[in-house]
Structure 1
Amino acid sequence: MARKKTFIVVFSLVVALIAAITGTVYNATQQVPEFYTAALEFEPAEASETGEILEEQVFAFSNQVKKPRRWSLHLTDRQINGWLASDLKEKFPSLLPETIEEPRVAVRGKTLLVGCKYKGQSLNSILAVSLDCFLVEGQPNVVGIQLHNVTAGSLPIPIGKLVDEINTYAEKANLPLRWQQRDGDPVALITIPSEGSEIEGVIRIDALELKDGEILLSGQTLKTEAEKQKEAVLETQEEVVEAEPVLPVESS
């Protein structure tokens, strides 16, 4: 009888401990990061207005890079979130997986915070990840995205799971992706195309800068070697024409 009572007591304690841990874990997954709460605070009219501003800037930028010149793109996380709130679902309804809803971003110092609602079979939570974005030295137009912390609510998640999800999504989207390590963190390497059918030159990114609330991208579109040679030939021809002596006109 004493053994049976002891077993019941121990079993009850174990069940209580499991319940407490489960409850703690669940509560942790339901915590909402402060940056995500702030990023959701948008009136529909403001979201639409800031989304339109972002589209106008991106459209102007896409025209700038087509011609040989210097160019830059300056965006705020407020503009990005406005577009995500008002335009993403309407204009790109199949872009995100069914498990992902309401993605938002925030730039804190040099760190990019990305959050979203995740609705899976065994987990409903706010997923968040902190990233560093930078140009890879010695590799033209290669952007590195370093993954730091991944959380579901306030509960840490192994970064490897996020890497697997990113690889799956990149493969479906036909997005070339490479990985390397930096300070013990995985870094996704993405190569930005330097040429295109409508681009009259070669794109070179000079700077990618993040600071509180802002993202700045700058660079230039350079003339191709073929275009430089063509211009040199034309300049030579013009110089020859200018150097030719002008013969006097004989009067009859």
Structure 2
Amino acid sequence: MVFVGAAVLIAAVTGAVYNATQHVPDFYTEALYVEPTTAHETGEVLEEQVFAFSNQVKKPRPWSLSLTDKQINSWLAVDLKEKFPELLPEHIQDPRIAVKGKALLVGCKYNGQSLNSILAVSLDCFLVEGEPNVVGIQLHNVTAGALPIPIGQLISEIDTYATKANIPIRWQQRDGDPVALITIPSTGKEIEGEIRIDALEFKDGEILLSGETIKSEEELKVEAADADQASPVSSPPPEPPAES
């Protein structure tokens, strides 16, 4: 009887764990559905916005970018598969996001050897005070279905793909959670100055980024020198006629 009871208990626990891993977060259910008739068009609009933004930051001027989670999910549903079919590993499918208040929620289908579930993570994204162009991404509430999972494995995955993409990441702690610190380059090819990010804001359904591309000190010195050389040399005033 003891063995029978133990077997029943193990089966019950196993069933409960499996059911918990099959739970689908509400935000993911909502984000997963993309209107097929408009998804491609919405993705194209997003690409046009990003292309225009990439041109904006090349010139010295203020700039801004506003994207919605619906636009991003349309692009993920259609364009990601078509244009970057090998970007995601085989065991990751259907990534989606949602912006709820100031939190960025990210979810995907995970089909592994020992686990088939919906992985989800809640992120807080912010500009790091005192470090120009450094974005902090705080990870918390990592789950497989309804079960919390160790965050160390996710950090290892992030480091692996960041290394492949040549994106340097530093890690810190904030309120007991790991924070990835990513430095956005301030200069680059065809950029006439230095990029300065002033604001990164998340609010329901929307991501806002703003800043300015400013001329570097060297460019300002060159412009000042050119202006001095171009300015006409003033002639001395004529001498008054001599008195007779």
TM tier relative to shorter chain: over 0.9
Structure 2 CA distance, aligned partners of 1:118 and 1:60?
Answer: 34
Q: 1:147 aligns with which of 135, 139, 145?
A: 139
2:74 paired with 1:82: yes
Call closer, same or farther: CA 1:69–1:246 in 2, change over 3 Å.
Answer: farther
Structure 1 residue runs of 5 or longer lacking an equivalent are 1-8, 248-252
Q: Cα distance, 1:53 vs. partner?
A: 1.1
Measure how far apart 1:238 and its partner are: 3.1
Aligned equivalent of 1:216, options 183, 193, 208: 208
Question: 2:197 maps to which residue?
Answer: 205
Residue aligning to 1:172: 164
Give the drift of 1:234.
Answer: 2.0
The answer for the alignment partner of 1:98 in structure 2 is 90
User: How far apart are residue 237 of structure 1 and its match?
Assistant: 2.3
Counterpart Cα distance in 2 of 1:244 and 1:196? 44
SS class of match (1:186): strand
Work out which of the residue numbers 231, 234, 243 in structure 2 matches 1:243. 234
Q: Given the alignment, which residue of 65, 68, 78 partners 1:73?
A: 65
Find the aligned partners of 1:183 and 1:25 in 2 and give their Cα distance: 29
| 245 and 75 in structure 1: CA distance in 2 versus 1, 3 angstrom threshold | farther
1:57–1:246 distance in 2 versus 1, CA, 3 Å: farther
1:142-173, Cα deviation, whole Å (9 max, x unpaired): 00000011011111111112111111221222
Amino acid in the other structure paired with 1:144: G
Tell which deviates more after alignment, 171-180 or 56-65.
171-180
- Please say if 1:184 is aligned against 2:176: yes
2: CA distance between counterparts of 1:87 and 1:148? 29
Whole-Å Cα distance in 2 between the matches of residues 77 and 58 of structure 1? 14
* CA deviation string 1:24-51 (max 9, x = no partner): 0100111111111111111222211211
Of 129, 145, 150, the residue aligned with 1:137 is 129
Structure 1 residues 154, 234: CA separation in 2 closer, same or farther (over 3 Å shift)?
A: same
Matches of 1:48 and 1:243, distance apart in 2 = 63
Count of residue pairs brought into register by the alignment? 238
TM-score (norm 2): 0.94
Match status 1:110 vs 2:102: yes
2:36 equivalent among 27, 30, 44: 44
SS in 2 for 1:112: strand
1:29 aligns with 2:21: yes
Instruction: Look up the SS of the partner of 2:47 in the other structure.
Output: helix
The CA deviation string for residues 115-155 of structure 1, in whole angstroms up to 9 with x for no partner, is: 00001000011000000000001111100000011011111
**Percent identity for Structure 1 against Structure 2:** 74
Distance in 1, Cα, partners of 2:233 & 2:126: 50
Letter of the 2:230 counterpart: E
**In 2: Cα distance, 1:245 partner to 1:71 partner:** 46
Tell me the equivalent position of 1:122.
114
Residue in structure 1 matching 2:152, options 138, 160, 165 = 160
- CA RMSD in angstroms comes to 1.4
What stretches of structure 2 of length at least 5 have no aligned partner?
239-244
Output the amino acid matched with 2:7.
V
Deviation at 1:86, TM superposition (A): 1.0
